[in-house]
Amino acid sequence: MTPKKPYKEFSDFLNSIFPFKVQKISVNAGFTCPNRDGTKGVGGCTYCNNQSFSPAYGGPRRSVTEQMDEGVAFFRRKYPQMKYLAYFQSYTNTYDSLEKLIALYEEALRYPDTVGIIVGTRPDCMPNELLNYFAELKKHTFVMIEYGLESTFDPTLQFINRGHTYAQSEEAIHRTAQKGIYTGAHIILGLPGESRELMLSHVDKLSALPLTSLKLHQLQLIRGTVMAKQYEAHPEWFNLFEVDEYIDLCIDFAERLNPDFVIERFVSQSPKELLIAPDWGLKNYEFTAKILKRFAQRETYQGRLYKHCQ
Protein backbone atom coordinates (compact mmCIF):
# COMPACT_ATOMS: atom_id res chain seq x y z
CA MET A 1 0.00 0.00 0.00
CA THR A 2 1.36 3.47 -0.91
CA PRO A 3 1.84 5.60 2.24
CA LYS A 4 0.23 9.08 2.43
CA LYS A 5 3.64 10.79 2.40
CA PRO A 6 6.36 9.44 0.10
CA TYR A 7 9.07 9.80 2.71
CA LYS A 8 9.44 10.20 6.46
CA GLU A 9 9.89 13.89 7.20
CA PHE A 10 11.80 15.40 10.10
CA SER A 11 8.79 17.48 11.14
CA ASP A 12 6.74 14.28 11.60
CA PHE A 13 9.53 12.81 13.68
CA LEU A 14 9.53 15.90 15.94
CA ASN A 15 5.72 15.82 16.11
CA SER A 16 5.92 12.25 17.34
CA ILE A 17 8.11 13.39 20.26
CA PHE A 18 6.83 16.86 21.16
CA PRO A 19 3.21 17.91 21.68
CA PHE A 20 4.06 21.45 20.48
CA LYS A 21 5.76 23.12 17.51
CA VAL A 22 9.57 22.93 17.61
CA GLN A 23 12.06 24.91 15.58
CA LYS A 24 15.81 24.41 15.18
CA ILE A 25 17.95 27.46 15.86
CA SER A 26 21.46 27.33 14.36
CA VAL A 27 24.31 28.24 16.64
CA ASN A 28 27.93 28.80 15.68
CA ALA A 29 29.81 28.28 18.93
CA GLY A 30 33.18 29.19 17.43
CA PHE A 31 34.68 25.72 17.24
CA THR A 32 37.34 24.90 14.71
CA CYS A 33 38.17 21.66 12.93
CA PRO A 34 40.72 18.91 13.60
CA ASN A 35 41.04 18.31 9.87
CA ARG A 36 42.75 21.66 9.54
CA ASP A 37 44.89 22.06 12.61
CA GLY A 38 46.85 18.84 12.03
CA THR A 39 45.13 16.77 14.73
CA LYS A 40 43.31 14.64 12.18
CA GLY A 41 44.61 16.18 8.99
CA VAL A 42 45.77 19.35 7.29
CA GLY A 43 44.16 21.47 4.61
CA GLY A 44 40.62 20.34 5.44
CA CYS A 45 38.10 18.61 3.23
CA THR A 46 38.55 19.66 -0.38
CA TYR A 47 34.97 20.98 -0.72
CA CYS A 48 35.12 23.07 2.46
CA ASN A 49 35.50 26.81 2.18
CA ASN A 50 38.69 28.14 3.84
CA GLN A 51 37.35 31.64 4.15
CA SER A 52 34.86 30.62 6.75
CA PHE A 53 37.76 29.80 9.08
CA SER A 54 39.07 33.32 9.01
CA PRO A 55 38.30 35.11 12.29
CA ALA A 56 37.07 38.09 10.28
CA TYR A 57 34.42 36.02 8.53
CA GLY A 58 30.94 36.67 9.79
CA GLY A 59 31.99 39.56 12.02
CA PRO A 60 32.71 39.43 15.76
CA ARG A 61 31.80 36.21 17.57
CA ARG A 62 28.49 36.36 19.40
CA SER A 63 27.65 34.26 22.42
CA VAL A 64 25.37 31.22 22.20
CA THR A 65 22.70 33.17 24.10
CA GLU A 66 22.92 36.13 21.71
CA GLN A 67 22.56 33.80 18.74
CA MET A 68 19.58 32.05 20.33
CA ASP A 69 18.04 35.50 21.00
CA GLU A 70 18.38 36.46 17.40
CA GLY A 71 17.12 33.13 16.01
CA VAL A 72 14.18 32.90 18.40
CA ALA A 73 13.06 36.54 17.95
CA PHE A 74 11.91 35.81 14.41
CA PHE A 75 9.69 32.87 15.39
CA ARG A 76 8.47 34.13 18.74
CA ARG A 77 6.51 36.95 17.14
CA LYS A 78 4.68 34.54 14.82
CA TYR A 79 4.38 31.51 17.12
CA PRO A 80 4.43 32.49 20.80
CA GLN A 81 3.96 28.85 21.91
CA MET A 82 6.89 27.52 19.92
CA LYS A 83 9.83 25.69 21.58
CA TYR A 84 13.38 25.38 20.30
CA LEU A 85 16.24 23.02 19.62
CA ALA A 86 19.72 24.56 19.63
CA TYR A 87 21.51 23.28 16.56
CA PHE A 88 25.30 23.32 16.91
CA GLN A 89 25.88 23.20 13.20
CA SER A 90 29.11 24.88 12.11
CA TYR A 91 32.40 22.99 11.99
CA THR A 92 33.20 20.27 14.56
CA ASN A 93 31.00 20.84 17.59
CA THR A 94 32.62 18.21 19.77
CA TYR A 95 36.17 19.44 19.28
CA ASP A 96 37.28 21.19 22.46
CA SER A 97 37.81 20.39 26.12
CA LEU A 98 34.92 18.52 27.73
CA GLU A 99 34.46 21.36 30.18
CA LYS A 100 34.13 24.01 27.49
CA LEU A 101 31.86 21.88 25.32
CA ILE A 102 29.48 21.16 28.18
CA ALA A 103 29.41 24.81 29.22
CA LEU A 104 28.35 25.82 25.69
CA TYR A 105 25.70 23.09 25.32
CA GLU A 106 24.30 23.99 28.73
CA GLU A 107 24.23 27.68 27.93
CA ALA A 108 21.99 26.77 24.98
CA LEU A 109 19.84 24.45 27.09
CA ARG A 110 19.28 27.16 29.70
CA TYR A 111 17.81 29.43 27.05
CA PRO A 112 14.05 29.85 27.67
CA ASP A 113 11.87 27.31 25.85
CA THR A 114 14.81 25.28 24.61
CA VAL A 115 13.86 21.62 24.67
CA GLY A 116 17.00 19.98 23.33
CA ILE A 117 20.17 20.12 21.28
CA ILE A 118 21.39 18.77 17.98
CA VAL A 119 25.17 18.51 17.64
CA GLY A 120 26.92 18.15 14.29
CA THR A 121 30.36 16.59 14.21
CA ARG A 122 32.84 14.24 12.54
CA PRO A 123 32.73 10.48 13.24
CA ASP A 124 36.30 10.55 14.56
CA CYS A 125 35.53 13.25 17.11
CA MET A 126 33.30 11.61 19.67
CA PRO A 127 35.22 10.63 22.80
CA ASN A 128 33.48 8.17 25.11
CA GLU A 129 33.34 10.58 28.02
CA LEU A 130 31.43 13.08 25.89
CA LEU A 131 29.10 10.36 24.67
CA ASN A 132 28.47 9.40 28.31
CA TYR A 133 27.56 13.02 29.01
CA PHE A 134 25.06 13.00 26.10
CA ALA A 135 23.63 9.67 27.31
CA GLU A 136 22.91 11.25 30.72
CA LEU A 137 21.59 14.44 29.14
CA LYS A 138 19.13 12.63 26.90
CA LYS A 139 17.37 11.22 29.97
CA HIS A 140 15.73 14.61 30.43
CA THR A 141 16.09 16.48 27.16
CA PHE A 142 16.17 15.86 23.43
CA VAL A 143 19.67 15.05 22.11
CA MET A 144 20.64 14.21 18.57
CA ILE A 145 24.15 13.73 17.21
CA GLU A 146 24.67 14.28 13.49
CA TYR A 147 27.73 12.76 11.85
CA GLY A 148 29.19 14.01 8.59
CA LEU A 149 29.97 10.81 6.65
CA GLU A 150 29.87 12.29 3.14
CA SER A 151 30.61 8.91 1.52
CA THR A 152 30.76 5.24 2.47
CA PHE A 153 33.61 4.64 0.00
CA ASP A 154 37.13 4.98 1.41
CA PRO A 155 38.86 5.99 -1.87
CA THR A 156 36.41 8.92 -2.09
CA LEU A 157 37.03 9.86 1.54
CA GLN A 158 40.74 9.90 0.79
CA PHE A 159 40.29 11.90 -2.38
CA ILE A 160 38.30 14.59 -0.59
CA ASN A 161 40.81 14.55 2.29
CA ARG A 162 38.16 13.75 4.89
CA GLY A 163 40.72 12.40 7.30
CA HIS A 164 38.60 9.45 8.47
CA THR A 165 37.40 6.14 7.07
CA TYR A 166 33.95 4.70 6.63
CA ALA A 167 34.72 2.09 9.31
CA GLN A 168 35.16 5.00 11.75
CA SER A 169 31.76 6.34 10.70
CA GLU A 170 30.10 3.00 11.32
CA GLU A 171 31.82 2.66 14.68
CA ALA A 172 30.72 6.12 15.86
CA ILE A 173 27.13 5.54 14.73
CA HIS A 174 26.93 2.19 16.53
CA ARG A 175 28.51 3.58 19.69
CA THR A 176 26.08 6.54 19.74
CA ALA A 177 22.94 4.57 18.94
CA GLN A 178 23.84 1.94 21.55
CA LYS A 179 23.50 4.70 24.16
CA GLY A 180 19.95 5.31 22.95
CA ILE A 181 20.89 8.69 21.46
CA TYR A 182 19.18 9.81 18.23
CA THR A 183 21.84 9.49 15.55
CA GLY A 184 21.93 11.24 12.17
CA ALA A 185 24.20 11.00 9.15
CA HIS A 186 25.05 13.33 6.32
CA ILE A 187 26.01 12.23 2.79
CA ILE A 188 27.06 14.19 -0.31
CA LEU A 189 25.87 12.90 -3.68
CA GLY A 190 28.05 13.62 -6.70
CA LEU A 191 31.55 13.45 -5.27
CA PRO A 192 34.29 12.95 -7.91
CA GLY A 193 34.88 9.34 -8.89
CA GLU A 194 31.49 8.13 -7.68
CA SER A 195 29.27 6.68 -10.39
CA ARG A 196 25.49 6.65 -10.01
CA GLU A 197 25.69 2.98 -9.08
CA LEU A 198 28.32 3.63 -6.44
CA MET A 199 26.25 6.47 -4.96
CA LEU A 200 23.28 4.13 -4.74
CA SER A 201 25.44 1.54 -3.00
CA HIS A 202 25.77 4.01 -0.08
CA VAL A 203 22.12 3.52 0.67
CA ASP A 204 22.38 -0.22 1.23
CA LYS A 205 25.24 0.23 3.71
CA LEU A 206 23.52 3.10 5.50
CA SER A 207 20.21 1.25 5.73
CA ALA A 208 21.87 -1.44 7.84
CA LEU A 209 23.05 1.11 10.44
CA PRO A 210 21.11 2.12 13.57
CA LEU A 211 20.38 5.63 12.24
CA THR A 212 17.49 7.89 13.12
CA SER A 213 17.86 10.35 10.28
CA LEU A 214 19.70 11.05 7.07
CA LYS A 215 20.54 14.26 5.27
CA LEU A 216 21.49 14.19 1.62
CA HIS A 217 22.89 16.98 -0.40
CA GLN A 218 24.17 17.57 -3.88
CA LEU A 219 27.85 18.36 -4.37
CA GLN A 220 28.25 22.11 -4.57
CA LEU A 221 31.43 23.74 -5.81
CA ILE A 222 32.33 26.58 -3.50
CA ARG A 223 34.71 29.43 -4.25
CA GLY A 224 38.08 29.30 -2.55
CA THR A 225 38.12 25.52 -2.10
CA VAL A 226 40.64 22.93 -3.26
CA MET A 227 37.79 21.34 -5.19
CA ALA A 228 37.14 24.56 -7.11
CA LYS A 229 40.76 24.45 -8.30
CA GLN A 230 40.41 20.76 -9.22
CA TYR A 231 37.31 21.61 -11.21
CA GLU A 232 39.17 24.30 -13.16
CA ALA A 233 41.99 21.88 -13.99
CA HIS A 234 39.90 18.70 -14.47
CA PRO A 235 36.26 19.41 -15.17
CA GLU A 236 35.95 15.83 -16.47
CA TRP A 237 36.30 14.55 -12.89
CA PHE A 238 32.96 16.10 -11.98
CA ASN A 239 29.39 15.33 -12.84
CA LEU A 240 27.40 18.28 -11.54
CA PHE A 241 23.77 17.32 -11.63
CA GLU A 242 20.97 18.96 -13.54
CA VAL A 243 18.11 19.35 -11.10
CA ASP A 244 15.83 16.72 -12.68
CA GLU A 245 18.64 14.18 -12.82
CA TYR A 246 19.40 14.83 -9.14
CA ILE A 247 15.73 14.47 -8.17
CA ASP A 248 15.55 11.05 -9.82
CA LEU A 249 18.74 9.99 -8.05
CA CYS A 250 17.29 11.09 -4.69
CA ILE A 251 14.12 9.11 -5.35
CA ASP A 252 16.11 6.01 -6.34
CA PHE A 253 18.06 6.49 -3.10
CA ALA A 254 14.89 6.87 -1.02
CA GLU A 255 13.28 3.78 -2.58
CA ARG A 256 16.16 1.64 -1.34
CA LEU A 257 16.45 3.35 2.04
CA ASN A 258 15.37 1.82 5.33
CA PRO A 259 11.76 3.04 5.73
CA ASP A 260 12.34 3.73 9.45
CA PHE A 261 14.86 6.50 8.76
CA VAL A 262 13.78 10.12 8.67
CA ILE A 263 14.97 11.92 5.53
CA GLU A 264 15.73 15.33 6.90
CA ARG A 265 16.67 16.91 3.60
CA PHE A 266 17.64 16.18 0.00
CA VAL A 267 19.32 19.41 -0.91
CA SER A 268 21.47 22.16 0.47
CA GLN A 269 21.90 25.78 -0.54
CA SER A 270 25.18 27.62 -0.20
CA PRO A 271 25.20 31.41 -0.29
CA LYS A 272 24.98 32.58 -3.91
CA GLU A 273 28.14 34.66 -3.62
CA LEU A 274 30.15 31.54 -2.72
CA LEU A 275 28.53 29.07 -5.11
CA ILE A 276 30.24 28.24 -8.41
CA ALA A 277 27.92 25.42 -9.50
CA PRO A 278 25.37 23.94 -9.82
CA ASP A 279 23.09 26.97 -9.56
CA TRP A 280 19.54 25.61 -9.92
CA GLY A 281 17.94 28.88 -8.87
CA LEU A 282 15.44 27.04 -6.67
CA LYS A 283 14.43 27.80 -3.12
CA ASN A 284 14.23 24.81 -0.75
CA TYR A 285 10.43 24.76 -0.81
CA GLU A 286 10.47 24.81 -4.62
CA PHE A 287 12.83 21.84 -4.64
CA THR A 288 10.55 20.02 -2.18
CA ALA A 289 7.52 20.66 -4.40
CA LYS A 290 9.39 19.26 -7.39
CA ILE A 291 10.54 16.13 -5.58
CA LEU A 292 7.05 15.44 -4.20
CA LYS A 293 5.62 15.80 -7.70
CA ARG A 294 8.20 13.36 -9.05
CA PHE A 295 7.52 10.82 -6.26
CA ALA A 296 3.86 10.98 -7.27
CA GLN A 297 4.61 10.63 -10.99
CA ARG A 298 6.75 7.59 -10.29
CA GLU A 299 4.15 6.21 -7.85
CA THR A 300 6.86 5.33 -5.41
CA TYR A 301 7.94 5.99 -1.83
CA GLN A 302 10.77 5.58 0.69
CA GLY A 303 11.66 1.95 1.36
CA ARG A 304 9.69 0.52 -1.57
CA LEU A 305 12.76 -1.43 -2.70
CA TYR A 306 14.35 -1.82 0.73
CA LYS A 307 15.42 -5.33 1.45
CA HIS A 308 15.98 -6.10 5.08
CA CYS A 309 18.67 -8.75 4.95
CA GLN A 310 19.48 -9.60 8.56
222 lines the binding site for ligand SF4 (CB under 6 A): no
Least distance (Å) between residue 82 CB and ligand SF4: 30
Q: Measured from the CB atom, is 35 or 114 closer to ligand SF4?
A: 35
Which member of 13, 29, 35, 84 binds ligand SF4 (CB under 6 A)? 35
Least distance (Å) between residue 225 CB and ligand SF4: 9
Which member of 91, 147, 182, 280 binds ligand SF4 (CB under 6 A)? 91
45 lines the binding site for ligand SF4 (CB under 6 A): yes
Contacts with ligand SF4 in 281-310 (CB under 6 A)? none
Using the rule CB under 6 A, give the single segment among 40-48, 102-110, 128-136, 245-253 that binds ligand SF4. 40-48
Report how far apart, in Å, the C-alpha atoms of 103 and of each of 65, 108, 175, 196, 223 are: 12, 9, 23, 43, 34
Least distance (Å) between residue 160 CB and ligand SF4: 8
Which member of 14, 22, 27, 33 binds ligand SF4 (CB under 6 A)? 33
31 lines the binding site for ligand SF4 (CB under 6 A): no
Least distance (Å) between residue 53 CB and ligand SF4: 8
44 lines the binding site for ligand SF4 (CB under 6 A): yes
- CB atoms under 10 Å from CB of 310, counted, come to 3
Contacts with ligand SF4 in 102-131 (CB under 6 A)? 122
What are 102-107's contacts with CB under 8 Å, separation 24+?
A: 102/133, 104/29, 104/64, 105/137, 107/63, 107/64, 107/65
Please check whether residue 261 is in contact with residue 202, taking contact to mean a CB–CB distance below 8 angstroms.
no
SS3 content of the chain, % helix, strand, coil (to 5): 40, 20, 45
29 lines the binding site for ligand SF4 (CB under 6 A): no
Question: What residue type is 121 in one-letter code?
Answer: T
Query: Strands, E, within 160-255: which ranges?
Result: 182-189, 213-218, 221-222
Contacts with ligand SF4 in 233-292 (CB under 6 A)? none
Number of chain positions touching ligand SF4 (CB under 6 A): 9
Report how far apart, in Å, the C-alpha atoms of 241 and of each of 7, 220, 279 are: 22, 10, 10
Please check whether residue 116 is in contact with residue 122, taking contact to mean a CB–CB distance below 8 angstroms.
no
Peptide bond into 278 cis (omega under 30): yes
Least distance (Å) between residue 134 CB and ligand SF4: 20
Using the rule CB under 6 A, give the single segment among 10-18, 29-37, 94-102, 180-188 that binds ligand SF4. 29-37
Angle between helices 64-78 and 98-110 (to 10 degrees): 20
Angle at 112 between CA 128 and CA 62, to 5 degrees: 70
The residues of the shown chain that bind ligand SF4, judged by CB under 6 A, are 33, 35-36, 44-45, 48, 91-92, 122
